[in-house]
Structure 1
Amino acid sequence: MDSTTLEQFYSKEFHKGRGAGGGLLPEGISKEIGHFNVFNVGEIVAQYRKKPFMPYNRRLYYKISFITGRHRAEYADKEIEIDKYALLFATPRLPYRWLPLDEEQGGYFCIFTEEFLVQSKSGVVLDDLPIFTPGGYPVFMLSDTEAEDIRAIFEKMYKELSGNYAYKYDLLRNYLMELIHYGQKLQPDTALYTANTSSSRTASLFAELLERQFPIASSGQKLSLRTAKDYAERLAVHVNHLNKVLKEHTGKTTTELIKNRIVQEAKILLRQTDWNISEIAYSLGFEEVAHFSNFFKKETTLSPAGFRV
């Protein structure tokens, strides 16, 4: 499975043949503890006369993009059309592809590793933030006023990065957190606040345990938890209690949530890897290819081979 490293990001996105990222790759990148960089999309397009096409794969870094113009963000289970302005949050957990739909492109984007923010005194853990949790809201359409707010933050980041202020990276961390909090404020309130009850704690632990089973990184890997009973036993609760809690909090049963996540991963593996159907079926816990094919077709109306085409 292709997991794009920072070095691969610079070489793939910015023509390695023109030098190390065409001069955009910072020196000593492999020696840094944490990494941050910000880019002006318009300047990249002008310099390379190339649309900043983003391939569909998992990445080993986080990315926040201020998008202007017409684009499409493609995920394994959905497509999001962007007509004017949008703010996009990308996490290593979720692969996607970003396609420009016209020649007029602009905006900014920044990439960073979790280690970059770990150095912040806030002690933030990225995957604990609502904006980066599984099933969250990765793309936000912006009004003209919101777009100007976001543009102003990126412009400050872009200017600061090229300066020689001794504490510029501390300042950049603050700007980065400002972007993250801006995005979280755009989320529905229900995505940000959860009642502090034992049932909400159980639901949260289930979601964390479910997501921890993924991604499937190799064809030899196999899901260890497959059924509602498996999860209930791991959480030390009765399967009926778990089902009741999840139904109250998500509107779906335990089995439905597990199936939905397996389908999502199956789509990712079918679209992103060259593994054969048998290998994908095995990694997702199906002993027989026919069982996987029947399951996938029932959930998506397409056969695995049909979806892959």
Structure 2
Amino acid sequence: MNKVETIEEFYKAKNWLPENLRNEIGHFNVFRLEPFVGANARSVPYRRRDYFKITLVIGSGQVHYADKVVEVQKHALAFSNPQIPYSWEKRDQIQGGYFCIFTPAFFHQYGDLNQYAVFQPGGTPVIELTEEQTEKVKGVYERMLEEINSDYTHKYDVLRNLALELVHLALKAQPAAKYDKQTINASQRITSLFTELLERQFPIDNTHQKVQLRTAADFAGQLNIHVNHLNRAVKEVTEKTTSQLIAERILQEAKILLKHTAWTVSEIAYALGFTEVTHFNNFFKKHVPLSPLKFRNV
């Protein structure tokens, strides 16, 4: 897989390096999308970035997130984070838009962005917008552009609020969650901790990494709770079993590694915690169903 693109590399292409790029308050910037799209725009490689990005896309396009492909038919608001690799295709069909980028430190003292579904694994990172919603989002970006060019002392507080406004506009555009408010708090907290532990093992960036937590019992031990308690909480919140979620995440990473690295199947199997290549092959064929090599060559 291509190495992680740092925010410094993003600015290097623009021949400019902001002074506040790595200070303790974090970094934020906002841009119009037009210079980055169209027939003459360079392709964007499939890779992870070490910064967050929220993009308003006006026009159709195609975005690859992890092992999924999302078709944007009209307008969309797209969220990316350092955990998930992505790339945009068919960028000549994108008419314009805006995007803002920021480092994790920009929100560090103001809450965890991973609490929001648009930044969570398995969440919905691309939200199709109506014309009315698009106009609202464009208004937020115009306010960002105005604010970042102002001399106001607390402008980054305003920009932080505007970024959160985009998050909440996206969340409101999605179907409401259907969990029981009486029971979700404890179960949601346990599920969130489980998900964080699961995601912390990914992405696999080199062949020396190895997934250590593979079973519900492994995660329960790390969380210091009984495995049955973990299974009940996860099932209540996600409507899936703990084992299903673990398998889905390992399968997702397997697909990414098969399509976007030159690693052997043996190296991928070992990195994903399989002691035998045959075990990995059987696991993969059970879920796809293709052998890993056939999937790589499709």
TM-score, length-scaled by structure 2: 0.88
Secondary structure at 1:215 match in 2: coil
Q: Cα distance, 1:101 vs. partner?
A: 5.2
Does 2:8 match 1:42?
no
Structure 2 match to 1:137: 124
- Asked if the contact 1:59–1:92 (Cα under 8 Å) also holds between the matched residues in 2, the reply is yes
Cα gap change, 1:192 to 1:7, in 2 (>3 Å) = farther
- Asked if the contact 1:270–1:308 (Cα under 8 Å) also holds between the matched residues in 2, the reply is yes
Aligned alpha-carbon RMSD (Å): 2.5
Q: Which of the numbers 189, 212, 220 marks the counterpart of 1:232?
A: 220
The aligned runs of 1:74-223 (5 Å cut-off) are 74-100=64-90, 102-118=92-108, 123-190=110-177, 195-223=183-211
Q: For 1:238 and 1:176, locate their aligned partners in 2 and report how far apart those are by CA, in whole Å.
A: 39
Q: Cα distance, 1:133 vs. partner?
A: 1.8
Cα gap change, 1:103 to 1:226, in 2 (>3 Å) = closer
Cα gap change, 1:204 to 1:162, in 2 (>3 Å) = closer
Quick one: which amino acid aligns to residue 99 of structure 1? E
Structure 2 match to 1:280: 268
Cα gap change, 1:7 to 1:204, in 2 (>3 Å) = closer
- Asked if the contact 1:184–1:192 (Cα under 8 Å) also holds between the matched residues in 2, the reply is no
Does 2:15 match 1:28?
no
Larger displacement relative to structure 2 (295-304 or 227-236): 227-236
CA offsets per residue over residues 134-181 of structure 1, 9 Å max, x none? 211101110110000000111121233233333332322222121122
Q: Which runs of 5+ in 1 are unaligned?
A: none
Quick one: which amino acid aligns to residue 4 of structure 2? S
- Asked if the contact 1:71–1:81 (Cα under 8 Å) also holds between the matched residues in 2, the reply is yes
Q: Cα distance, 1:52 vs. partner?
A: 5.6
Quick one: which amino acid aligns to residue 30 of structure 2? V
Q: For 2:231 and 2:253, locate their aligned partners in 1 and report how far apart those are by CA, in whole Å.
A: 22
Secondary structure at 1:63 match in 2: strand
- Asked if the contact 1:56–1:96 (Cα under 8 Å) also holds between the matched residues in 2, the reply is yes
Q: Cα distance, 1:130 vs. partner?
A: 3.1
- Asked if the contact 1:61–1:111 (Cα under 8 Å) also holds between the matched residues in 2, the reply is yes
- Asked if the contact 2:191–2:234 (Cα under 8 Å) also holds between the matched residues in 1, the reply is yes
Quick one: which amino acid aligns to residue 19 of structure 2? G
Structure 2 match to 1:69: 59
Q: For 1:277 and 1:106, locate their aligned partners in 2 and report how far apart those are by CA, in whole Å.
A: 41
TM-score, length-scaled by structure 1: 0.85
- Asked if the contact 1:247–1:253 (Cα under 8 Å) also holds between the matched residues in 2, the reply is yes
Quick one: which amino acid aligns to residue 305 of structure 1? L
- Asked if the contact 2:37–2:94 (Cα under 8 Å) also holds between the matched residues in 1, the reply is no
| Count, aligned residues | 294
Cα gap change, 1:273 to 1:165, in 2 (>3 Å) = same
- Asked if the contact 1:226–1:285 (Cα under 8 Å) also holds between the matched residues in 2, the reply is yes
Cα gap change, 1:241 to 1:173, in 2 (>3 Å) = closer
Does 2:231 match 1:243?
yes
Secondary structure at 2:205 match in 1: coil
Cα gap change, 1:28 to 1:86, in 2 (>3 Å) = same
Does 2:285 match 1:293?
no
